Amino acid sequence: MDDLRDKYLGLISDAADEAALEDLRVQAVGKKGEISLKMRELGKMTPEERQVAGPALNALKDEINSALSAKKAALEDVALDERLRGEWLDVTLPGRARRQGTIHPISQVTEEVTAIFADMGFSVAEGPQIDSDWYNFDALNIPGHHPARAEMDTFYMHRADGDNRPPHVLRTHTSPVQIRSMEANGAPIRIIAPGRVYRADYDQTHTPMFHQVEGLALDKDISMANLKWVLEEFVKAYFEVDDVELRFRASHFPFTEPSAEVDIRCSWEGGTLKVGEGDDWLEILGSGMVHPKVLENAGVDPNEWQGFAFGMGIDRIAMLKYGIPDLRAFFDSDLRWLRHYGFSALDVPTLHGGLSG
Ligand code: DAH
C-alpha cells in the first residue's frame, strides 16, 4: 500500500497538465483503477484482515483524490497566471497622445462630390480599373488610329506569348464606366462614376495614377442647358460659394458632340485661389452631349434617348479647394502631410451638415 501511495503521489506531483492528471485518476481510482481493484479484494479477506485493510485503503483513496484535486487547482492557477501575464495592463499609466488616422483629401472630396450629385438624383456606378481596349477606347468612339489614343499615355497589360488579342489597359479615364452602366441599365440613367485612372505621366500636376469622376445623364429631352445647370449647382455646392461664373469653351472629344470644356472664374491673390471672383479662368472638366455612336455601342437607341456626360479631375478640384500645391504629395504617404491635410473620420460630408466641416 505504501508503494502504491508513493507511486501515485509522485506521478500526480509530476503531472504536466490536466489531461495527464485525468489519466492518472483513471489509473488509480477509476472503476478499473489499481486502488479500486484492491478494494474489491477486501471481500476475499478474513474479517480481521478487512478491519485493518479497509480503512487503510479508504484513507489511501481519499489521499489520492485530494492530491488529484490539489494538483488540478495548482495547474489551473499556473494557466491563469500565464494568461494574466499575457493580458497584463497597467491602468495607472498616463494616457497616450492621440494618434488618430485621418481621411485622405481624395476620399473626402470623393464623398463631397458624391453627396452633391446624390442630392441631384445621381447614383454611384463602378467599373474595373483594368479594362479592355473596347471599353476604354472603341466603344467611346476612339478608333485604333485616333490621336486621342496616343495622347492618353496608356499603360498596356501584357498578353501571353502567341495571344494576339488586343491587350487590356489600365483605364485612362472613367468614361468606360458610361458604357458599362448603359449596357447594364439602359436608359433613362443618371450616374456618376468616381475612381482611379492611369496615364504614364509624372510632374507637379500629373501622377501616373489619379482620380476622375464621370457623369452621365440620359433621358428623352436632356440638353446642354441641363448640363450647364447641373454643373453650376455642383460648383457652387462644392466650393461652398453662393455665386459662380462658368465658361463653356467649345472643344472636341470623340465621345461627345458638341463638346465643351468648362472653366470657372477665379482669382489668385497672394497665392491663394478664390473661386467666383477675379479675372482668371480655371479649367475643371470636359463635357458634352453623348455621341450617338457611343449610345449605339452601349445598346441604347440614339433616336429615342439623348443626354450629357462629363469627366472631372478629382485630384485637381481637391488641390483647388484645399490649397494643396503639389499633386505628387497626395500619394507620398508622408504622415505629417496626411495629418495636416487630412480630415476627421467623424466629419462625414453632407449637404445639410456641411461638406468640409
Ligand atoms: N474622358 C475625358 C478625359 O479623360 C474627360 C471627359 C470629357 C469625359 C468629356 C466626358 C466628356 O464624359 O463628356 O480627359
241 close to 295: Cβ distance less than 8 angstroms? no
Nearest CA to ligand 1 atom 13: 287
Read off the pLDDT of residues 83-123 as tens digits, 9 standing for 90 and up.
999 998 888 988 877 677 899 999 999 999 999 999 999 99
The pLDDT value given to residue 205: 76
Instruction: Please report the DSSP string for 66-102 in residue order.
Output: HHHHHHHHHHHHHHHHHHHHHT---TTSPPPPP----
The predicted model scores a pTM of 0.71
Distance CA 352, CA 294 (A): 37
Query: How many angstroms does the Cα of residue 138 sit away from the middle of ligand 1?
Result: 14
Query: How many angstroms does the Cα of residue 312 sit away from the middle of ligand 1?
Result: 7
Query: How many angstroms does the Cα of residue 328 sit away from the middle of ligand 1?
Result: 22
Distance CA 58, CA 44 (A): 17
220 secondary structure, DSSP code? S
Q: Which residue numbers in the chain have pLDDT < 50?
A: none
160 secondary structure, DSSP code? P
Q: Which atom of ligand 1 is least distant from the CA of 215?
A: 12
Q: Which of 175, 190, 226, 316 to mutate to test the pocket of ligand 1 (most atoms within 8 A of CB)?
A: 175
All three cell numbers of 68? 488529484
Distance CA 281, CA 265 (A): 5
Backbone phi and psi for residue 322, each to the nearest 5 degrees, phi listed first: -105, 10
Task: Name residues contacting ligand 1 (CB within 6 A).
Answer: 173, 175, 214, 253, 255-256, 286-288, 309-311
The pLDDT value given to residue 357: 61
Contacts of 222 by beta carbon, 8 Å cutoff, 6+ apart: 306, 307, 308
Q: Which of 226, 248, 255, 315 to mutate to test the pocket of ligand 1 (most atoms within 8 A of CB)?
A: 255
* Residue 226 parent element (H or E): helix 224-239
333 close to 341: Cβ distance less than 8 angstroms? no
Residue 186 — left, alpha, or beta (φ > 0 → left; ψ -120 to 50 → alpha)?
A: left
Read off the pLDDT of residues 31-61 as tens digits, 9 standing for 90 and up.
888 988 888 888 888 888 888 888 988 999 9
Q: Which atom of ligand 1 is least distant from the CA of 308?
A: 13
Annotated binding-site members for Mg(2+): 257
Distance CA 151, CA 138 (A): 15
Query: How many angstroms does the Cα of residue 213 sit away from the middle of ligand 1?
Result: 9
Query: How many angstroms does the Cα of residue 350 sit away from the middle of ligand 1?
Result: 26
Nearest CA to ligand 1 atom 2: 311
Nearest CA to ligand 1 atom 4: 173
Distance CA 249, CA 261 (A): 5
The pLDDT value given to residue 354: 76
* Residue 263 parent element (H or E): strand 256-269
